[in-house]
């Protein structure tokens, strides 16, 4: 609800009408290119612990761009290998399935999430930084908790804020109303998105994930990354992505407007048998993994 001034001292309350309709959102999402088949297939294979190097090679070699990036990564100064790695098979054996899959997904996220989302207070590259830090945090939490598949959670956390890419232009256009709503209601930025625009970036992100044909568990992680207790399924996975987002924000990775009015759900800690102290103790590992990932991507981009 917002107030309209009629005359000095006289006001009337107006209902807030969301500015967006579902069909507008669907139209915008349909303009997003589909996730490349190779990335989807790699993701699917990575969920199966029985996947062999041969199976991964058969898929990756279909994409020249990814093949080139993987070989360039192995031959970068970072690894300092005495002999050049010239085949995908050797590259995979050297990197290991997990590193390779995460590298492919992170490189893909660079392409998708590089744009500035100034409506959310994020400069160019900041959404990617936030996604990668959250992905690595999810991996660290999953390793500790040993309840869910780290690779799957890496992807869910990497893409959890992808809805911001779609909503950004509308958030920019309605910035004044959204900020006024946050001030007046003392609510989160997310609640203000819902009140003013009619949709949150979490809801829109889940639509994007469905558009990309990602598995339902990832759609759920994205949809409920701010309200993990409201999910009906995949409770551990959703709680992990929520905590990963929290850890990334607490450590300064892509704070923006989300971080300034962030609502943390302590129930996620209880669900996974963790404590605030344990979560905080993960910060050094997160910084270390983030710096390594950022180095590898940069090396690969400019080598
Ligand atoms: Fe978010
Ligand atoms: Fe986030």
**Each residue of 50-73: pLDDT tens digit?**
888 888 899 998 888 889 888 988
Residue 164 Cα, ligand 1 centroid: separation in angstroms? 8
pLDDT at 152: 83
Handedness of CA 22, 23, 29, 34 (dihedral sign): positive
pLDDT at 16: 55
Residue 162 Cα, ligand 1 centroid: separation in angstroms? 8
Residue 171 Cα, ligand 1 centroid: separation in angstroms? 14
Residue 103 Cα, ligand 1 centroid: separation in angstroms? 23
Percent of the chain with pLDDT over 90: 50
Residue 101 Cα, ligand 1 centroid: separation in angstroms? 24
The CA distance from 133 to 126, in Å, is: 10
- 245 close to 160: Cβ distance less than 8 angstroms: yes
The CA distance from 187 to 165, in Å, is: 22
Residue 61 Cα, ligand 1 centroid: separation in angstroms? 34
Residue 247 Cα, ligand 2 centroid: separation in angstroms? 10
Res 3 pLDDT > 50:
no
Residue 282 Cα, ligand 2 centroid: separation in angstroms? 18
- Higher-pLDDT residue of 8 and 168 is 168
DSSP secondary structure code for residue 118 in this structure: G
Largest CA distance in the chain: 79
Residue 168 Cα, ligand 2 centroid: separation in angstroms? 14
Token pair recorded at residue 255? 């704070």
pLDDT at 232: 95
Res 15 pLDDT > 80:
no
Residue 273 falls in which region: left (phi positive, over 0), alpha (psi -120 to 50) or beta = left
Say whether 18 sits in a helix, a strand or coil: coil
| E strand or H helix that includes residue 215 | none
Closest ligand by atom to 130 CA: 2
Closest ligand by atom to 202 CA: 1
Nearest-10 crossing angle of helices 53-60, 37-46:
170
Residue 190 Cα, ligand 1 centroid: separation in angstroms? 8
Closest ligand by atom to 163 CA: 1
Res 191 pLDDT > 80:
yes
Residue 201 Cα, ligand 1 centroid: separation in angstroms? 7
Query: Structural domains in the chain?
Result: 17-30+114-294 (1.10.3210.10)
User: What's the chain's average pLDDT?
Assistant: 87
Residue with tokens 């303009």: 31
Query: In terms of DSSP H, where are the helices of the chain?
Result: 22-30, 37-46, 53-60, 64-74, 88-95, 97-112, 126-145, 150-158, 163-173, 175-185, 189-197, 201-211, 216-223, 235-250, 256-260, 267-271, 276-281, 283-302
Res 240 pLDDT > 80:
yes
Whole-structure pTM value: 0.85
Average pLDDT over residues 130-144: 94
Residue 65 Cα, ligand 2 centroid: separation in angstroms? 29
pLDDT at 301: 56
**Within a 10 A sphere around the Cβ of 141, how many other Cβ atoms?**
27
Residue 185 Cα, ligand 1 centroid: separation in angstroms? 19
The CA distance from 12 to 267, in Å, is: 40
Q: Tens digits of per-residue pLDDT, 64-103?
A: 888 988 898 888 888 888 888 889 999 988 888 888 888 8
Residue 160 Cα, ligand 2 centroid: separation in angstroms? 6
Q: Tens digits of per-residue pLDDT, 103-129?
A: 888 888 887 888 899 999 999 989 989
């Amino acid at each position: 609800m917002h107030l309209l001034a009629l005359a000095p001292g006289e006001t009337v309350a107006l209902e807030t009408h969301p500015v967006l309709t579902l069909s507008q959102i669907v139209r915008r999402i349909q303009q997003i290119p589909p996730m490349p088949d190779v990335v989807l297939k790699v993701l699917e294979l990575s969920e199966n612990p029985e996947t062999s190097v041969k199976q991964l090679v058969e898929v990756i070699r279909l994409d020249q761009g990814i093949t080139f990036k993987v070989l360039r990564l192995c031959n970068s100064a970072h690894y300092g290998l005495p002999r050049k790695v010239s085949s995908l098979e050797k590259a995979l054996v050297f990197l290991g399935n997990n590193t390779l899959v995460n590298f492919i997904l992170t490189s893909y996220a660079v392409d998708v999430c590089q744009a500035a989302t100034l409506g959310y207070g994020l400069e160019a590259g900041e959404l990617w930084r936030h996604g990668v830090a959250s992905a690595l945090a999810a991996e660290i939490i999953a390793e500790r908790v040993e309840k869910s598949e780290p690779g799957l959670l890496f992807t869910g956390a990497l893409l959890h804020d992808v809805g911001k890419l779609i909503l950004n232009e509308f958030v920019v256009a309605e910035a004044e109303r959204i900020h006024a709503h946050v001030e007046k209601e003392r609510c989160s930025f997310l609640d203000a998105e819902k009140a003013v625009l009619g949709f949150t970036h979490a809801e829109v992100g889940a639509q994007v994930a469905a558009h990309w044909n990602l598995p339902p568990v990832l759609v759920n992680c994205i949809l409920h990354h701010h309200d993990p207790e409201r999910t009906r399924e995949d409770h551990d996975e959703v709680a992990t992505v929520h905590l990963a987002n929290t850890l990334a924000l607490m450590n300064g990775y892509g704070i923006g407007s989300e971080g300034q009015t962030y609502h943390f759900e302590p129930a996620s800690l209880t669900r996974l048998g963790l404590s605030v102290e344990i979560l905080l103790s993960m910060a050094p590992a997160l910084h270390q993994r983030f710096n390594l990932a950022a180095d590898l991507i940069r090396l690969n981009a400019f080598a």
